[in-house]
Amino acid sequence: MKGEYIMNEEFLLIVESLEKYKDLLESKNDEICDGMTEGEKRAYQLGITNMYEMLKQIIEHDHSEGNYNVFVPEIKEEESGEYDLKCSYVQFNFIRGREFTKRVDDMLQELATAKYVFIDDASLILSSIPLRKETIAINLWHACGAFKKFGRSTAELKFGSSAATLDKYPNYENLTHVTVSSPEVIWAYEEAMHLPKGIVKATGVSRTDLFYDSEFVESRRQKLYEIMPEAKDKKVILYAPTFRGHVATAKSPDKIDFERFYQELGDEYVIVCKHHPFVKKPPVIPEELQHFARDLTKDLSIEDLLCSADICISDYSSLVFEYSLFEKPMIFYAYDYDNYCDWRGFYYDYSEFTPGPVVQTEDELLDSIKNIDTQFDKQRVIDFKEKFMGSCDGHATERIIELMKES
């Protein structure tokens, strides 16, 4: 064994080499997810693309430039570029009991010898042990921008724990770097993760590199057509709300009358729904309306749907940051704004921050869709994109790799 690194809360796979991992990356999601529980599949879809983009570039780089050596400096002499890649999935909300204990034990053993560690969320495990001084730990974070509060920012809010509890059980210790979507949001991550200045870096977010690949974007729309042929001659509305409640008991909003929407919009639109990965039982769309509205949470990734949508309807989800890269219309269906703000809180003033109409009733939502051509302010979306996604330009992965070289 020449060197190794760990990816946490992404996979339930143990891969022995880059060559084997490349084969996995090129296979279909169904093949990768075979054997996972539904909860594991949802978590896999939530964060995998960041890791995919970064490792894909490492794998595909020319050996002569030494890019394999970014992560494993000890293997310069090995033409194959092979090294051990250990992948751990330890999301407590989806795995309990002995299986969770076993995975934690396995992860701790790998952490003891890992050169590089990548995570995309909070990690009590990583934060609870001393690492070797030569170990580099990078949090790629699973979201862009800074929308609803998390971590230390939620102290004393209904969603969060007390400040004393958060200090006693930290989730963001031992981090060498945290990568984010723009300089604008560095302060929010420093606050949420209780980090000193210099750790959070505006490199951009790896998975957004995909959105600058026109062939990839077009292929995603074709993939949607294969699953939902009715979308071919219609405009596509993506409805992607965030979850409500605590993570372990997360629920999704049930505030759209699809029968009514079909009667008023069916000639021009179809609706595709994508629920948050934490939601175990999303609202059911009636079978007789599946030609107009369909829940594709289990069928397509959020990247697939962002590439395919003509309009995005959300509420408090960070996916709107990614969607802004397409410079297309967004509508914010915030029917429970007052309660949610009191529950979770935001980093920016909601009404001033959102780059599209904010509506609170079905009537208002329908009106905004019907009048989207006159209500859409493209410059406002561009300004939003430049402010919160300024480091996402199709080259984020390259900058993250350079960050590895410098560590």
**pTM given for the model:** 0.81
Between 19 and 189, whose confidence is greater? 189
pLDDT of 13: 32
Q: What's the pLDDT tens digit per position in 236-257?
A: 999 999 999 888 889 999 999 9
State residue 110's pLDDT score: 86
Q: What is the CATH number of the domain that holds 378?
A: 3.40.50.12580
Model pLDDT, residue 252: 95
The DSSP symbol for 277 reads T
pLDDT of residue 156: 85
Greater model confidence, 193 or 81 = 193
Q: What is the largest CA-CA distance in the chain?
A: 66
Identify whether the C-beta of residue 309 lies closer than 8 Å to the C-beta of residue 270: no
Domain match, 201 and 331 both = no
Lowest-pLDDT choice from 84-93, 137-146, 214-223, 382-391: 84-93
pLDDT at 392 over 80: yes
* 238 and 182 share one domain: no
Tell me, yes or no, whether 294 and 180 share the same domain.
Answer: no
376 torsion bin: left (phi>0), alpha (psi -120 to 50), beta (else): beta
Provide the sign of the torsion angle of the four alpha carbons 121, 127, 132, 134, taken in this order: positive
pLDDT at 11: 31
Q: What pLDDT does residue 138 have?
A: 93
Query: Within this chain, do residues 333 and 310 fall inside the same structural domain, yes or no?
Result: yes
Q: How far apart are CA 109 and CA 101, in angstroms?
A: 13
Tell me, yes or no, whether 247 and 313 share the same domain. yes
Within this chain, do residues 151 and 113 fall inside the same structural domain, yes or no?
A: yes
Average pLDDT over residues 271-282: 93
Do residues 237 and 171 both lie within one domain? no
Tell whether 186 and 265 lie within a shared domain: no
Question: Is 144 in the same domain as 280?
Answer: no
Tell me, yes or no, whether 34 lies in a domain.
yes
Q: Note whether residue 146 is domain-resident.
A: yes
% of the chain with per-residue pLDDT over 90: 59
C-alpha angle 394-146-294 in degrees, rounded to nearest 5: 75
Q: Percent of the chain at pLDDT above 70?
A: 77
Residues 34 and 179 in one domain: yes
Asked whether 241 and 254 are in contact (CB, 8 A), the reply is no
Would the pLDDT of 100 be above 60? Answer: yes
Q: First CA to last CA across the chain, in angstroms? A: 22
Neighbours of 174 (CB within 10 A): 17
pLDDT class of 269 with cuts at 50, 70, 90: very high
| pLDDT of amino acid 75 | 27
Q: Is pLDDT above 70 for 273?
A: yes
Of 28-32, 108-112, 167-171, 344-348, where does mean pLDDT reach its minimum? 28-32
Q: Is residue 200 part of a domain?
A: yes
pLDDT reading at 128 higher than 50 = yes
User: 182 pLDDT band (50/70/90 cuts)?
Assistant: very high
Average pLDDT over residues 153-171: 89
Domain with 176 in it: what CATH number? 3.40.50
pLDDT of 375 higher than 80: yes
Domain encompassing residue 79? 4-208+392-406
Model pLDDT, residue 343: 87
What's the whole-number average pLDDT of the chain?
A: 83
Backbone conformation region of residue 330, classed left if phi is above 0, alpha if psi is from -120 to 50, else beta: beta
Return the pLDDT at 31.
53
Rounded Cα gap, residues 273 and 293, in angstroms = 8
Question: Phi/psi of residue 241, each to 5°?
Answer: -80, 160
Q: Residue 83 pLDDT > 70, yes or no? A: no
Q: For residues 21 and 25, what is the distance between their CA atoms, to the nearest angstrom? A: 6
Q: In this structure, what token pair is assigned to residue 256?
A: 């759209």
Write the DSSP assignment of 207-265 as a string of letters.
Answer: GGGGGG-HHHHHHHHHHHHHH-GGGTTSEEEEE----BS-GGG-B------HHHHHHHH
Examine the domain organization and report whether 118 and 183 are in the same domain: yes
**How many structural domains comprise the chain?**
2
pLDDT score at 42: 52
CB 398 within 8 A of CB 130: no
> Is 343 part of a structural domain of the chain?
yes
Starting at the earlier edge strand, list the strands of the sheet with 293-295.
293-295, 269-273, 235-239, 311-314, 330-333, 358-359
The identity of residue 197, as a single letter, is K
Are both 311 and 396 inside the same structural domain?
A: no
Domain for residue 149, yes or no? yes
Q: Predicted confidence band at 9 (pLDDT cuts at 50, 70, 90)? A: very low
Query: For residue 213, is it within any domain?
Result: no
The answer on pLDDT for 81 being more than 70 is no
Confidence band of 233 (pLDDT split at 50, 70, 90): very high
Of 396, 387, 402, 394, nearest in space to 145 by CA: 387
In a domain, 331, yes or no: yes
Flag whether pLDDT at 64 surpasses 60: no
The answer to whether 326 touches 308, Cβ cutoff 8 Å, is no
The two tokens of residue 319 are 């996916």
pLDDT at residue 58 in the model: 47
What is the pLDDT at residue 262? 98
Q: Hey, which bits of 16-66 come out as E strands?
A: none
87 vs 368, residue with greater confidence: 368
User: Do the Cβ atoms of 333 and 365 come closer than 8 Å?
Assistant: yes
Strands 293-295 vs 311-314: parallel, antiparallel or unpaired: unpaired
Nearest to 166 by CA among 193, 206, 201, 133: 193
Instruction: Answer whether residue 50 shows pLDDT above 90.
Output: no
Q: Which two tokens stand for residue 215?
A: 């062939």
